[in-house]
C-alpha cells in the first residue's frame, strides 16, 4: 500500500529522516466520530500533493519519508494507547529522526509528549487548536481527547493558539499569558499585526513539540473535523506561524489530528495532507 506522498521506494526506507506514524484511534470523541479514518485519508490524499514546496523552494524526498504500519489499539480508554505511541515516537527520536504522528483523535498526542519528556531535555508544546483541552479528567478518563494539555502540563510548558471554546473549569489549568484566543488572532491578522507570533516564540523552549488539531482552522476552510468551531484560523496564518517557529526554534516532532473524512468533501483530506508536508518542509529546511 502506498505511503505518504506515494514517493518512489528508494526514498521510503525505515532509515528515512521522516517517520510517518499513523494512529487510527477514535474512542473518546464526543460529537462526530470518524477520526480513526483520518490517517489513511491523509495518506491517500497526499498522493496528490506536489513534491516541490514553493515557500522553501525545495523538494524533500532525499531525506526520506517512511510510513510506518498503523498503531492498532481497540481499548476504550486511551490511557492504553499512550504507551504504544510513546514507544514509536521514542524510537524515532533516539534515531535522530522526525516523528510525524497522524491522528486519530487528539489523545494520540499524549504518548508523543511522554516520549519527548523521557529524553530529559527541556521542551515546550505548541498547541494550535480550537479547544483548550486542559480538563484533568473527562468522561472518566485522564487521557481523553479533552485532557491532552493537562497531561502535557505534567511534562512541559505550553503555548495555546487559536482557542475558541473552553469549559469554565478549564481556566484554572490555563496560563492566560500563554493563550492566544481565536478572536485575538483574527483581529491581529486582519490588522496586519503579526508581532503576536514573536511573543509566542519567546515563550517557547528551544526544543518544541507541535500539535495541530485541524479544528483550529475555520470550518469554512476545513469542515471535516469532529468538533468544529466557527471563526477559526486561515491557511496562511497557520503556515506563517509554523514557519517562524521552525526558523527560531527546533521542532523535534509534530502531529496533525482530528480529521474526520467526509466522502462528499475531499478538500479537507487534501488540506490536512498538504499541511503535513508544509510543516515537514519548514522543519527540514531549517536543519
Q: CA 114, CA 107: separation in Å to the nearest integer?
A: 12
pLDDT at 262: 95
The label of the residue with cell 492566560 reads 176
pLDDT value at residue 170: 84
| 133, 179 Cβ separation under 8 angstroms | no
Is the distance from CB of 243 to CB of 198 less than 8 angstroms?
Answer: no
pLDDT of 147 reads 79
User: What pLDDT score was predicted for residue 139?
Assistant: 65
Profile the chain (287 residues) by mean pLDDT over runs of 10 residues. Answer: 95 98 87 91 98 97 97 86 97 99 94 97 98 78 77 94 92 88 96 98 99 98 96 98 99 98 95 99 95
Sequence-ordered strand ranges (E) for the chain: 18-23, 65-67, 98-103, 124-128, 157-163, 179-181, 207-213, 250-257
The pLDDT value recorded for residue 144 is 67
Tell me the whole-structure pTM to 2 decimals.
0.97
CATH 3.90.226.10 for domain 4-285: no
Amino acid at each position: 500500500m502506498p505511503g505518504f506522498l506515494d514517493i518512489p521506494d528508494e526514498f521510503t526506507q525505515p532509515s528515512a529522516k521522516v517517520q510517518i506514524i499513523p494512529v487510527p484511534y477514535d474512542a473518546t470523541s464526543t460529537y462526530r466520530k470518524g477520526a480513526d479514518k483520518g490517517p489513511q485519508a491523509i495518506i491517500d490524499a497526499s498522493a496528490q500533493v506536489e513534491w516541490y514546496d514553493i515557500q522553501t523552494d525545495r523538494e524533500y524526498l532525499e531525506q526520506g519519508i517512511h510510513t510506518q504500519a498503523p498503531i492498532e489499539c481497540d481499548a476504550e480508554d486511551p490511557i492504553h494507547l499512550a504507551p504504544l505511541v510513546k514507544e514509536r515516537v521514542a524510537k524515532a527520536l533516539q534515531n535522530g529522526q522526525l516523528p510525524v504522528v497522524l491522528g486519530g483523535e487528539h489523545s494520540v498526542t499524549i504518548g508523543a509528549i511522554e516520549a519527548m519528556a523521557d529524553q530529559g531535555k527541556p521542551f515546550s508544546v505548541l498547541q494550535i487548536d480550537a479547544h483548550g483541552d486542559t480538563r484533568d479528567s473527562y468522561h472518566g478518563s485522564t487521557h481523553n481527547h479533552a485532557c491532552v494539555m493537562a497531561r502535557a502540563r505534567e511534562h512541559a510548558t505550553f503555548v495555546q493558539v487559536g482557542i475558541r471554546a473552553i469549559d469554565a473549569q478549564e481556566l484554572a489549568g490555563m496560563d492566560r499569558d500563554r493563550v492566544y484566543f481565536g478572536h485575538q488572532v483574527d483581529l491581529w491578522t486582519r490588522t496586519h499585526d503579526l508581532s503576536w507570533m514573536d511573543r509566542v516564540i519567546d515563550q517557547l523552549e528551544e526544543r518544541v513539540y507541535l500539535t495541530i488539531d485541524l479544528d483550529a482552522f475555520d470550518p469554512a476552510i476545513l469542515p471535516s473535523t469532529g468538533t468544529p468551531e466557527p471563526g477559526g484560523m486561515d491557511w496562511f496564518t497557520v503556515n506563517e506561524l509554523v514557519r517562524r517557529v521552525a526558523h527560531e526554534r527546533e521542532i523535534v516532532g509534530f502531529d496533525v489530528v482530528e480529521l474526520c473524512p467526509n466522502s462528499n468533501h475531499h478538500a479537507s483530506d487534501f488540506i490536512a495532507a498538504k499541511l503535513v508536508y508544509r510543516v515537514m518542509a519548514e522543519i527540514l529546511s531549517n536543519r
